[in-house]
Chains A and B, each alone.
Chain A
Amino acid sequence: MNVTSYIFGILAAVLTLAVVIEMLRRRRLRERHAIWWLVAGVLALIVGVFPRVLDWAASVVGVALPTNLVFFVSIAVLFLVCIQHSAELTVLESKTRTLAEMSALQDMRIRELEQKSEIAG
């Protein structure tokens, strides 16, 4: 590994973290959605600054090629984010559904009241 790729690794991790934190700061991203991106960014930063950690971690879990551990962890994080999004989507759909039901019921009440007031007035 040369100096350029060392710096490139660190810069990429810092950029990821900066984007996530900036979005959190501007409330464009809620904490619960940001958690996996933060975890990924911090891991990338640690590995970027101390490449030895990656070699050590790979040997601990028995991965021959340390790079493969990086791919594995990346895919795992993306997978978790996807699952989280699917779950959130389900929650949102059921909330929209309840809102649609409420709006239909309110609409009926309004129409009923309008009829009554027409008769009265």
Chain B
Amino acid sequence: MDPMPTRFDRTLIVMPAFNEEESVGDVVREVYAKLPGIHCLVVNDGSHDNTTAVALDAGAMVAVLPFNLGVGGAMRLGFKYALANGFDNVVQIDSDGQHDPANVPALLDGLDHADLMIGARFAGEGNYTVRGPRKWAMVVLSAILSRTAGTRLSDTTSGLKACGPRAVRLFADHFPAEYLGDTIEALVLASRAGCTIRQIPVAMRPRAGGTPSHNPIKSATYLGRAFLALGFALMRPASTVATKA
């Protein structure tokens, strides 16, 4: 039943978790059940709850940040750990149970031809929908980012991503920590550093807790900050991938 043991061996699942004691245990157990032999690192991003104990109990490795750094900060730690411990690939999965770990093998397959694979929510599979300004923002963002990356990207803010060796080396040093840096700016950074980006459609499950907001003021703020992030990302000088020491 295990199609590629060596590939799973060299892959690290990184799960940023901020106050996720309710879901993180189940997500970790599901990862181990569906992806036997894989390593799973939960980054406790300054949680005030029992996230660390729950994740350790489920069998994951846990890195505890002393205070909240945001998804970008947590992911950079994951990339650093992967680089220091000889993992080739890093797969980012949300700890709230939105992503199905069963998509990971397909993402890893994609890494044969790309440096960064995105699990896209709007590419046909599943029924994840958003409405209003948030949707327009996503459409415009994906149009601009598709141009930058030179390939069609329909979901630029997806939290399900797989990174190959080149992208891991780049992100361990340069993964952006700012707001939306883990999605928009990371894609700009990767494509300008010469990484190939591709996407595959994935089905999204409803979130374990809470619903996506449709508050107009929040949407407008999101829109503004997203474009600001994109603008600055495009203005910054390109980073280069560090050569293997």
Contacts and interface: CB of A to CB of B under 8 A. Distances in A.
A103 B69 CA distance: 13
Interface in B62-76: 62-67, 69, 73, 76
B77 A105 contact: yes
A85 interface: no
Contact of A108 (B63, B67, B69, B73): B63
Contacts of A101: 65, 73, 76-77, 80
B67 A107 contact: no
Given A97-B73, A100-B73, A101-B80, A108 B62 contact: yes
Interface size class of B (residues with CB under 8 A): 10 to 19
B177 interface: yes
Contacts of A97: 69, 73, 177
Contacts of A105: 63, 77, 80-81, 84
Nearest to B72: A97
A19 interface: no
B63 A107 contact: yes
B61 interface: yes
A101 B66 CA distance: 9
A44 B234 CA distance: 43
| Residue among A100, A101, A107, A108 having the largest count of chain B Cβ atoms under 10 Å | A101
Nearest to B70: A97
B157 to A, nearest CB: 22
8 contacts: A94-B177, A97-B177, A100-B69, A101-B76, A103-B66, A105-B63, A107-B63, A108-B62
